[in-house]
Amino acid sequence: MHGSYRKAHLSRAELDWATAGDAISAVFDTGDLASGGVGRVAMMVGDEVWLPEVMRILTLRGAEVVAHPCDWDRSEAALVAASERVSENKTHLVSVARMDNAAGVGSQVTFAGEYIGGEPIPLMRYAMAQWCRPGLEEQPIFSLKRREPYCKMMGDHLDVLGKRDPALYAALADVPAVQ
């Protein structure tokens, strides 16, 4: 299987030397473990982690795992933005960071999680992650449960995708004319 992705949302610095791609990543079906695959995988590059819509669209397209090569520019990108994208969408995020990144944060895996009921609120609402130590070349071993990205529940009555109401989007985007 072969796939590619040209980053669609460039940072200010990247605008000086790069041209944006024309679409966000496709979702690549690599097959299951029995066939040597790892499931439905998509990509998100660098600071696209700050854009909620990127991860949401990949989730709506059926991604189970989002591969995220990155160069953390500040610790909040890893510790807040990555966790929020996973919490909002319940899709695994595998962030592979440069060892010399400015934030001094290592690579990480943020798990989609699975609501089973009765968890403390922090476990229901915030994604769990496994980190590598910054500045060290490590090979983390982790297991991604393929069923977790299919459980979109964050509480007894909160399905992060099922509670969407696209019919209301037009009203939210309607901006009255200034007189």
Give me the pLDDT at residue 40, please: 94
Q: Tens of pLDDT along 128-159?
A: 899 999 888 888 888 888 889 888 888 777 88
Give me the pLDDT at residue 174, please: 74
d(CA 34, CA 21): 34
Residue 148 CB coordination number (10 Å) = 17
Q: Considering the chain, what percentage of its residues have pLDDT values greater than 90?
A: 51
Mean pLDDT per 10-residue segment, the chain (179 residues): 83 91 92 82 95 95 96 94 94 95 94 83 77 88 88 81 79 72
Residue 29 CB burial class (10 angstroms; 0-12, 13-18, ≥19): middle
Q: Tens of pLDDT along 23-42?
A: 999 999 998 877 878 889 99
Give me the pLDDT at residue 3, please: 78
d(CA 16, CA 85): 27
Give me the pLDDT at residue 49, please: 96
Give me the pLDDT at residue 177, please: 66
Query: Which residue has 């079906």 as its token pair?
Result: 29
* Residues 50, 81 contacting (CB under 8 angstroms): yes
Beta strands in the chain (DSSP E): 28-29, 40-43, 65-70, 92-97, 108-110, 129-131, 153-155, 158-159
- CA 113, 5, 107, 33 dihedral sign is positive
Q: Domains of the chain (ranges plus CATH)?
A: 12-173 (3.60.110.10)
Closest residue by Cα to residue 5 from 34, 46, 35, 51: 46
Q: What is the pTM of this model?
A: 0.87
Q: What single-letter DSSP state applies at residue 77?
A: I
